[in-house]
Structure 1
Amino acid sequence: MTAPIQPDTGAGASATGHFDPTRLKTRQLALIVQLDIHRSVLHAANAAHMTQPGATKLLRELEETMGVELFERHPRGVEPTWYGEVLIRHARSVLAELQHAYEEVSALKAGLTGQAMIGTEVTAATNLVPQAVALLKKRFPKIRVNIEMEFSEVLVQRLQEGKLDMIVARIRNPDDLAELHYVPLAEAQHALFARVGHPLVKRKALSWSELAPQTWILPPKGNVMRNRFTQLFLERKLALPTDVVESSSLPVITSLLQMSDMIAPLAREPLRPYCIAGAIEPLPFEFDLKLGPAGIVTRRGERLSPGARAMLQALRETAGFDTQGPGAADH
């Protein structure tokens, strides 16, 4: 790379430094990218599907428009100047954006195909996410949707690793917000649940000391709900329950509740169908469990595929964040 030359006062550069981007041609941008790759006008012209005289003319016109020399000519070929390096970098970006635009338009013309990978914690998995997927499939039946349900901590890690396009989860580590975009949802309400007819259900009120000896179904240690549950006992200077079954599977938990006298702290929304069916009901106990709101989370600056963008749009609309239609996804 050579040192920069002083700009001239060619026809493309005004005295005030005003620049008219409409004078640039896409073929010029493609040419300088190929010149950077091949360092030869002949080879770059062939790669850009043009003649050598045509390439030389386009490069000269571009240098006149920019008012600087972009490539230094020498017997072995060409080498970009510092000005050329700057324009090449932006030319690559412009061409990449045009390619993305073409892919999205082509996908829409074809009925939008592709895949969307979404992760969700259990509460959103029972209502928000299924509704959003149903909306997406109504609009774009050909998009394949993969749904993964896990604890928030696992989902955040898988999103950061690029294994998921988006998640509905809680963010506990403030440092994650630097690389993740988080839009909070309403906070879920929790209660203590047991089978219909459980001995404690008929009580008018319950105390923490009465609940402690019960057989509890709890998430594994390290989970945010388990940590908060432990904190509630410690704040009241009570011994932690020792009769515990650990499970993160909602079907397993609900089955255990229905066939035993176990109790479990759970979000109300996922248990609504079981309560309506008369299988499970909340205990008469005010359970002040605040975990913080889950939210729709994506990676900052990540360019999603057309299919994933359509899924994100459907998720936002279902959550009430965006009602401008399928073309309004802004990510």
Structure 2
Amino acid sequence: MKIKQVSRDYAILGLDSGATLAEVKKAYRRLVRTYHPDVNSAPDAKEKFLRIQNAYQRILDEKAGNSRSETLRTANSARERFRERQDQLRRARIRRAREFAKRVQEERDRQYLDAVERASTYFAILFVAAITFFVFDPVYKKLKLTAGQTDVAWAKITEARTRNLSFKFYVDGDPHESTVYVRKSFTEIVVPNGMPVEPGQFFQVKYNVDFPNYNKVNFDRYSAEVGERYQQQVFAKLRQAPKFDIYSDNQLACIILEVYRARGTDGLALLYFFNEPVVENPRHNRMRFALYKKSTDFESLKTSCLQKHPD
């Protein structure tokens, strides 16, 4: 029965049973462009589209040696896996919150014992110094940056393993090293422009001419190589996702380029994090991508790319 089903699936795609994976994908893209409900208004287009999708998925599973029964790919199974993933994320967040609370409590206990051992005056001095450092130091640095003459240079990211990025830039041949705090999305360090960062990338830094250590990195201004690398990262990410198999390499590259032209780095980040949960990435996530995908702007540029690259 399984062999007959596989043969029927190949027949649905108009192929022989011995067709290669590349031939299967090519046939799938051709048929989807013909029977997709968005482009074919025939009464039976939707039914044919679903049959094509189901046959394509079963062939992919067969090619990969996936022996799971079809019942495990039903909507109920998909929802169950989604709930399990959400439970894992929830448990992970609870665990992190408990660990953080434990560390905070341990730090508070340590500070309390230290305060008891010291004179109250000394403790007050330390407290005032801490408030001054964490509250007024950033303000002071900003004032120092803007108070005097400023200039710009290209800063190279030298280390990107933690949220404190290290970078280096040169002023009149003299090196200056600094750090900047950024956020993290899952396992990737993300800079303010929304994209992951890598060592060796160059961004523009504004600095005080007299005091170069007072500086600020502008992550929206980057080298041409960084822009090309961003597009490569997005292409590699989308090419691995089955939902984008409908597009050929040329079509996908065209869509990425047009989104970049229309929305800049924000558009690339929206594509790169197309499947990111909202709780992990409030700015670029699956919800924002879904809304953008339905917009007239995206539909227009997608249609243009499909016309430019019919295959």
Q: Classify the TM-score, shorter chain.
A: under 0.3
Larger Rg: 1
The TM-score normalised by the length of structure 2 is 0.26
Greater helix fraction, Structure 1 or Structure 2: 2
Structure with the bigger RCO (C-alpha within 8 Å, sep 6+) is 1
